[in-house]
């Protein structure tokens, strides 16, 4: 039985609603502690894409019933050989070949676009952290389809009712003792003109510096114009960003940077985004300093937030140690999967 696969666009309310409903079922099954994707968010992903990023979404039906979805994301400014897939089949429709058919469709689309590598992800069980996936379908399917595991990733959540301020005080005291010659700055988007080139440099380093395992992602080409386009999309999507940086007094450059973003639809939740320290300025506890200072500033401004989520590669020991010290605790594990054509 062949699937009917329909492109999702905001101008087609049926496909749009079906995609949203299917994504909501998977969200509830897999990651119920995260905020769900809302109608407004899905619309703004179409209206305000990230610069250099093209996302195609499809919904799949069998015998008139929605059974799953897939998205194919590809890139125009870097990673030209790469596509990223996100595929889900509703739990009650599994093991009937729908996943195989949807994946074949998405891989063919990636091949037609000239891509040589596809990445995707699934939930993952990590016994050493007591993290158990809701089922083992994703990994079993990925292996059966010829994918190899490329990078395990762990989501940690900070329950703000449990934060121990004395631990944060201690982290700051220890960090400040090693951070002579640096001064702290804070800003909301848009990034001030005088630091936008430093931020572009740090942002572009991220994929070069963070452990990327065997995923094959190349560092992004980020310049000031791309920073401006990204933050314009962030603002248009209804997100407020809280940034803290450290400026190296001798050179006047921002050499450490962290961000927390909050979506205006959820007053209880935020995401701890990237944290990066320029390699020339490591060893001064700048990573811990910006994270703790940013968390405190964010909480002052957003007293209703109760949970902050973050992601790290399972092997990113340095950042995980800081997060654990701050009180972040493992919540979900994921595996990144890769296949080369
Ligand atoms: N145990 C063992 N093998 C499995 C399992 C399982 N639970 N699930 C799938 N497979 C393998 C089998 O070899 C199967 O062939 P068979 O049924 O002839 O033995 C083959 O995968 C194809 O299975 P389908 O029936 O086509 O897959 P299904 O429609 O059940 O969808 C999917 C699989 C997409 C993984 C679904 O379980 C799901 O949505 N999971 C949550 C999201 C997710 O993990 N997405 C996949 C990411 S990995 C990737 O896309 C490569």
CB of 138 within 6 A of ligand 1: the answer is yes
Nearest CA to ligand 1 atom 20: 141
Nearest CA to ligand 1 atom 49: 142
- State the pLDDT at residue 206: 78
Give the helix/strand (H/E) hosting 240.
Answer: strand 239-248
Rounded CA-CA distance 90/22 in Å is 7
- State the pLDDT at residue 261: 98
CB of 87 within 6 A of ligand 1: the answer is yes
Q: Scanning the structure block, which residue is given the tokens 């380093």?
A: 205
Give the helix/strand (H/E) hosting 228.
Answer: helix 224-236
155 strand-pairing partners: 311, 332
Total domains present in the chain:
2
Query: CATH code at 312?
Result: 3.40.630.30
Nearest-CA neighbor of 314 among 136, 162, 79, 150? 150
Nearest CA to ligand 1 atom 29: 99
Last residue of a domain, one of 115, 146, 177: 115
Residue 306 resides in a domain: yes
CB of 25 within 6 A of ligand 1: the answer is no
CB of 122 within 6 A of ligand 1: the answer is yes
| Residues 98, 162 within the same domain | no
Last residue of a domain, one of 115, 138, 166: 115
| Residues 181, 318 within the same domain | yes
CB of 139 within 6 A of ligand 1: the answer is no
| Residues 183, 327 within the same domain | yes
CB of 143 within 6 A of ligand 1: the answer is no
Nearest CA to ligand 1 atom 51: 142
Task: Please give the number of the atom of ligand 1 that sits closest to the Cα of 85.
Answer: 50
Q: Alpha carbon 90 to chain centroid distance?
A: 23
Task: Please give the number of the atom of ligand 1 that sits closest to the Cα of 138.
Answer: 44
Rounded CA-CA distance 226/82 in Å is 20
Distance from residue 182's CA to the centre of ligand 1 (Å): 51
| Residues 23, 108 within the same domain | yes
| Residues 164, 52 within the same domain | no
Digit-by-digit pLDDT tens for the chain (341 residues) are 589 999 999 999 999 999 999 999 999 999 999 999 999 999 999 999 999 999 999 999 999 999 999 999 999 999 999 999 999 999 999 999 999 999 999 999 999 999 999 999 999 999 999 999 999 999 999 999 999 999 999 999 999 999 999 999 999 999 999 999 999 999 999 999 999 999 999 998 877 777 888 888 888 889 999 999 999 999 999 999 999 999 999 999 999 999 999 999 999 999 999 899 999 999 999 999 999 999 999 999 999 999 999 999 888 888 999 999 999 999 999 999 999 99
- The number of beta carbons lying within 10 Å of the beta carbon of residue 177 is 10
Which residues touch 100 (CB under 8 Å, ≥6 apart)? Answer: 145
| Residues 219, 320 within the same domain | yes
- State the pLDDT at residue 209: 76
Give the helix/strand (H/E) hosting 224.
Answer: helix 224-236
| Residues 236, 89 within the same domain | no
| Residues 250, 111 within the same domain | no
Distance from residue 198's CA to the centre of ligand 1 (Å): 44
Distance from residue 73's CA to the centre of ligand 1 (Å): 21
Q: Extract the tokens encoding 314.
A: 């399972």
- State the pLDDT at residue 221: 87
Give the helix/strand (H/E) hosting 82.
Answer: strand 82-89
| Residues 81, 196 within the same domain | no
CB of 144 within 6 A of ligand 1: the answer is yes
- State the pLDDT at residue 314: 85
Rounded CA-CA distance 122/43 in Å is 24
Last residue of a domain, one of 84, 115, 146: 115
C-beta separation of 243 from 257 below 8 A:
yes
Q: How many helices (H) and strands (E) does the chain have?
A: 9, 12
Distance from residue 75's CA to the centre of ligand 1 (Å): 27
Nearest-CA neighbor of 150 among 315, 341, 338, 334? 338
Nearest-CA neighbor of 309 among 291, 329, 290, 294? 329
* Angle (nearest 5°) at CA 55 between 91 and 96: 25
* Cβ neighbourhood burial of 86 (10 Å; 0-12, 13-18, 19+): middle
At 292 the three-state DSSP class reads: helix
| Residues 11, 107 within the same domain | yes
CB of 339 within 6 A of ligand 1: the answer is no
Nearest CA to ligand 1 atom 43: 138
Residue 126 resides in a domain: no
| Residues 86, 175 within the same domain | no
Nearest CA to ligand 1 atom 27: 99
| Boundaries of domain holding 42 | 4-115
- Our mutation pick for probing the ligand 1 site, out of 5, 95, 103, counting the most ligand atoms within 8 A of Cβ, is 95
Residue 148 resides in a domain: no
Residue 122 resides in a domain: no
| Residues 73, 182 within the same domain | no
Residue 79 resides in a domain: yes
Nearest CA to ligand 1 atom 11: 141
Rounded CA-CA distance 279/277 in Å is 6
């Amino acid at each position: 039985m062949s699937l009917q696969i329909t492109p999702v666009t905001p101008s087609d309310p049926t496909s749009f609603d079906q995609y949203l409903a299917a994504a909501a079922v998977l969200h509830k099954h897999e990651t119920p502690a995260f905020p769900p994707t809302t109608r407004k968010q899905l619309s703004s992903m179409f209206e305000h894409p990230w610069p250099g990023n093209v996302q195609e979404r499809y919904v799949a039906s069998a015998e008139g019933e929605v059974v799953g979805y897939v998205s194919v994301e590809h890139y125009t400014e870097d990673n030209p050989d790469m596509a990223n897939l996100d595929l889900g089949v509703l739990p009650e429709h599994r093991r009937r070949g729908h996943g195989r058919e949807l994946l074949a469709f998405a891989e063919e689309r990636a091949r037609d676009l000239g891509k040589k590598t596809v990445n995707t992800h699934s939930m993952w069980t990590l016994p050493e952290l007591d993290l158990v996936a809701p089922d083992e379908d994703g990994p079993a399917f990925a292996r059966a389809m010829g994918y190899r595991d490329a990078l395990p990733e762990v989501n940690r959540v900070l329950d703000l009712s449990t934060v121990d301020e004395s631990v944060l005080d201690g982290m700051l005291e220890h960090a400040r003792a090693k951070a002579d010659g640096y001064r702290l700055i804070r800003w909301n988007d848009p990034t001030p003109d005088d630091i936008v080139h430093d931020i572009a440099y740090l942002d572009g380093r991220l994929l070069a510096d963070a452990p990327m395992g065997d995923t094959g992602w190349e560092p992004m080409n980020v310049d000031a114009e791309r920073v401006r386009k990204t933050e314009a999309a962030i603002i248009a999507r209804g997100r407020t960003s809280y940034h803290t940086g450290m400026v190296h007094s001798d050179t006047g450059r921002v050499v450490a940077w962290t961000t927390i973003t909050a979506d205006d639809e959820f007053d209880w939740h935020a995401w701890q985004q990237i944290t990066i320290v320029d390699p020339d300025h490591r060893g001064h506890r700048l990573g811990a300093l910006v994270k703790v200072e940013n968390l405190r500033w964010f909480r002052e401004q957003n007293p209703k937030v109760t949970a902050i989520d973050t992601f790290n590669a399972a092997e990113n020991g340095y950042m995980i140690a800081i997060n654990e010290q701050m009180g972040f605790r493992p919540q979900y594990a994921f595996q990144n999967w890769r296949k080369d054509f």
